[in-house]
Structure 1
Amino acid sequence: MTVIDAFVTKVIELSDYTEQDASYLFNRVLALVGEASGNPDSQSKTLIDLKEDLLDLAVANGKVGALIEERDCLGAELMNFITPIPSKVNEYFWKTYEQSPEKAIADFYDLSQKNDYIKLAAIAKNIAFKTPSKYGDLEITINLSKPEKDPKAIAAAKLMKNSSYPQCQLCMENEGYQGRLDHPARANHRIIRLPLGDEEWGFQYSPYAYFNEHSIVLNTQHVPMVISQKTFEQLLDIVDWLPGYFVGSNADLPIVGGSILTHNHYQAGRHVFPMEVAEIIESFTFEGFERVEAGIVNWPMSVLRLTADSKADLVALAEQIRLAWRDYSDSQADIVAYTGDTPHHTITPIARRQHGRFQLDLVLRDNHTSPEHPDGVYHPHADVQHIKKENIGLIEVMGLAILPPRLKDELLEVEKYLLNQYNEIADYHKEWADQLKETHPDVSLENVSEIVHQAVGQTFARVLEDAGVYKNPADFMRFVESIGIVNV
């Protein structure tokens, strides 16, 4: 069977098209990929593989350039054939949701994989492993899913006319957008409209997922990130709307915030992170909130965990804590709320349901800098930046390291160095590697990868300790007591 015929057959099988539409589909695909090189046979079985065959054909026919970004634009358009229009996706979602929220979510997740919006093949390239620590098992991912920019694509993008549409990659206007060299293809992208209080938000999946059912809940308006009482209300509403999901927000300040501070959004999914299973090491009750269980979590970052039956109680207490932390300074613990009028304090909040009850984790963040730590006092310090120097955002806060692609090859050179083989180890790994040599005189070909992986995990634990504003419970409890507690 020819590649176009095979693709059309799969489209009919996986969509609302019927056999009566076969010639129409054939001609529409032919218009996209071209006729010059004919229509060769294909041995591919899946729709996504057939799409790749069609892209090769389109490149050969001169219908699309060979750059990844150019192929992606046409690839998304081809996968749009099996993707219902937004109104139909939303209609089906909410009609199904009335009968079974779990099925509505599962079907939307399935569509987002089936139409190649979620890049499963790319995600599979990531290197992932777990390492034990005194805080529990930490999760490590070396992110290889997002393709690195081709220098030709970068050069070509610079020659393009500047465009501010869509304003960012989280805007609603991305739904159906064709894409260009400097903006991802989104022809097959769909967003579920989600009511949150008096606002309409959107629910979508992340194309390059870092964990199971990694999704984004985004404001339909292009407004900046902000942590407020409304944040807590919305997070707790979302865990009601999306059963089985956690949801959290990056902080809203530079250094301690996420990579996109210009568009208010949350991240959600069906995954149990290491922080979630960490135990409480100090329990107490806040004055006026006797129905809320509260405590400090055994975690390298500074986390208050609140659990209650009532969303209203949790929202009110979380807001009281946020306001107290915003203005709280403690010179003894190097906690600085303001430099002049510049605020340094905010919170990274995470919401979930636990055994039918509502739970909020509030991670205290401080982004002030110093001459000793110009990147941030509570940012990965210089001696661990050879592993992780980027901001510690929501996902890392919860115990999943997203490490840069460079480490794939760099860690192999570290392994060769430990084995006394010829290597091209990066200078910034040398001191760390020498320490590993000293502590692991038994290193061998059989265990070297495990030794390096475990060392990466321990370094990530140190990264999180650097990001934690409190280094001992006594300092942390001074802040807790300043809010007012019933018993210690």
Structure 2
Amino acid sequence: MIKEHDMIQERILELVKYGLTTGLVDPADEVYTVNRLLEVLGVDDIEDETFEKVEAQPAWTQEEAEEKLEAILEDMMTYAYDNGIMKENSIVYKDLFDTKLMGCLVNAPSVIRARFKDLYDNESSLAATDYFYKLSCDSNYIRRQRIKKDMKWTTDTEYGTLDVTINLSKPEKDPKAIAAAKNAKQSAYPKCQLCKENEGYAGRVNHPARENHRIIPVTINNSQWFFQYSPYVYYNEHCIVFNSKHTPMKIERATFGKLLDFVTQFPHYFVGSNADLPIVGGSILSHDHFQGGHYTFAMAKAPIEKEITFKGYEDVEAGIVKWPMSVIRIKSADKDKLIDLADKILLAWRGYTDEEAFIFAETDGEPHNTITPIARRRDGDYELDLVLRNNITTEEHPLGVYHPHAHLHHIKKENIGLIEVMGLAVLPARLKGEMAELRDAILTGKDLHSTETLASHADWALKFMSKYDKIDESNIDVIINEEIGLVFKEVLECAGVYKCTDEGRAAFQKFIDAVNA
């Protein structure tokens, strides 16, 4: 068995080799990086024989380096725990420590920003984002090996092909870490996980480590913002654009200007904003931010169901989108004209009430109407999708009238934010185990009310089982995935303020008429 001190010396050199292979580490910084890792791990030196052994290894390809990283880090963390350097051998403490290790390989923000700017100025915005995304993955800020565990599939519907993912890449905290976080001193630094102060932050049990995290400054609509990637990428190059100041989410005229300015600078990306009210907003309403990426969602592919015209903006293409949620699409080469029209629609919707359609602008002084906006470039023009949202609640629907209804909560109970609005279901990790149990019960003929988990899915399962002549090992996985996708379609229909019916479309047109009044 390899001696512990020989092993850790090898892993240090192999981690640096990983950095050299991926381009994280410049050859001029090799010795410096080795020495930084020695300090973190409390190791004094590396023997000549170890240098020779690692140098004798064949060169790695990018793919080979990616495959080796997890095992290298695991050995280093085992050493750190065994030698009292890492406090607990659990996921929270391991994530804090391996981020510290990877932080030793990542250049200072100034170096990365300079490289990004050079690529943007002298090659293209695409080259710049390609570089930054690869760096965010190579640095293990985006944990490739965990992302691979996410379950993903698609479901075809009358609205297009919906994306479905069961998110398994977010690790669950262990009881010790939960207790430690509860007892830890509460800090207002960084104020939230989106603040610029996260860049390089060591983290703590109640805040993730970000020593391998880098952000790019961007000026949009004459205001200072930053650009980064989400560590839990739900789709290709899932990015976050966030305000330099910790300020609440707000959908206003300036929002449309910022969104369109961003896609002017990065025309290969879409960008959108969660709404600014609870229930219909995203998970973080305390910090103004957008989400974007290099991906085309089903909603973007959805056609115009009915063309419409806005008075004074006859030269702007406009229409109601064939989509389960209520979407007005406007398109023009004139960015300023789009901003004007989007603002007009927003202001009209903020104050709009139609009791017959159960649309209330406010009740008891609480506002209910807002918009989820999405911007993109298409055929050289600017395009905005404006999704009408309303967060009213009732005794029958205490979580929201335009929210997944109770009979769907066994699959999806959480808020419908920007990503879901566009056609990607982000479903909870619990479904992996629950669907495995349901699968076995269906195949063995077990009573679907025999356990609490099965009972929560029983009505749904019995209903879809009746649709199929045969369900066995050969098709059950496809069937369950298909039916989950169809539940998500129904979730989106619940979230639509105007339903895709003759009555719903007539009420939608009534609002369009109000904008034109």
Identity of aligned residues (%): 47
SS at match of 2:305: strand
- Counting matched residue pairs gives 484
Distance 1:415 1:74 in 2: 38
Match of 1:48 in 2: 69
Task: Check 1:20–1:114 CA distance in 2 against 1; reply closer, same or farther (3 A cut).
Answer: closer
2:133 aligned with 1:109, yes or no? Answer: yes
Q: Give, in angstroms, the shift of residue 62 of structure 1.
A: 1.7
SS at match of 1:321: helix
Deviation digits for residues 66-102 of structure 1 (CA, Å, limit 9, x no counterpart): 1222122221222123311111211221122111222
- Which amino acid in 2 is paired with 1:217? V
Q: Give, in angstroms, the shift of residue 21 of structure 1.
A: 4.6
TM-score by length of structure 2 reads 0.90
SS at match of 1:266: strand
8 Å Cα contact 2:120/2:128 also seen in 1: yes
Distance 2:171 2:289 in 1: 24
Distance 1:314 1:210 in 2: 29
Q: Which runs of 5+ in 1 are unaligned?
A: none
Distance 2:383 2:333 in 1: 9
Distance 2:487 2:164 in 1: 11
Distance 2:331 2:418 in 1: 20
What are the within-5 Å matches in structure 2 for residues 416-455 of structure 1?
A: 416-422=440-446, 424=451, 425-455=453-483
Q: Give, in angstroms, the shift of residue 9 of structure 1.
A: 3.2
Q: Give, in angstroms, the shift of residue 16 of structure 1.
A: 5.0
2:497 aligned with 1:469, yes or no? Answer: yes
Match of 1:160 in 2: 184
SS at match of 2:197: helix
Distance 1:256 1:323 in 2: 18
Match of 1:244 in 2: 268
Aligned-residue CA RMSD (Å): 2.1
8 Å Cα contact 2:92/2:174 also seen in 1: no
Match of 1:61 in 2: 83
1:458 to 466, 486, 490: 486
SS at match of 2:19: helix
2:300 aligned with 1:276, yes or no? Answer: yes
Distance 2:439 2:276 in 1: 39
Match of 2:106 in 1: 83
- Which amino acid in 1 is paired with 2:486? Q
Distance 1:122 1:138 in 2: 23
Match of 1:130 in 2: 154
Q: Give, in angstroms, the shift of residue 453 of structure 1.
A: 1.0
**Residues 263-272 or 98-107, more deviating:** 98-107
Distance 1:469 1:275 in 2: 16
- Which amino acid in 2 is paired with 1:4? I
Distance 1:365 1:175 in 2: 33
- Which amino acid in 1 is paired with 2:166? I
8 Å Cα contact 1:33/1:55 also seen in 2: no
- Which amino acid in 1 is paired with 2:511? F
SS at match of 1:102: helix
SS at match of 1:361: strand
Match of 2:13 in 1: 5
TM-score by length of structure 1 reads 0.95
Task: Check 1:19–1:229 CA distance in 2 against 1; reply closer, same or farther (3 A cut).
Answer: closer
Distance 1:421 1:60 in 2: 49
SS at match of 1:232: helix
Task: Check 1:28–1:269 CA distance in 2 against 1; reply closer, same or farther (3 A cut).
Answer: same
Distance 2:117 2:168 in 1: 35
Distance 2:33 2:173 in 1: 33
**Residues 57-66 or 451-460, more deviating:** 57-66
SS at match of 1:364: strand
SS at match of 1:84: coil
8 Å Cα contact 1:35/1:61 also seen in 2: no
Distance 1:359 1:319 in 2: 14
2:325 aligned with 1:301, yes or no? Answer: yes
Task: Check 1:399–1:15 CA distance in 2 against 1; reply closer, same or farther (3 A cut).
Answer: closer
- Which amino acid in 2 is paired with 1:401? A
- Which amino acid in 2 is paired with 1:456? I
Q: Give, in angstroms, the shift of residue 301 of structure 1.
A: 0.3
Q: Give, in angstroms, the shift of residue 12 of structure 1.
A: 4.3
Match of 2:5 in 1: none
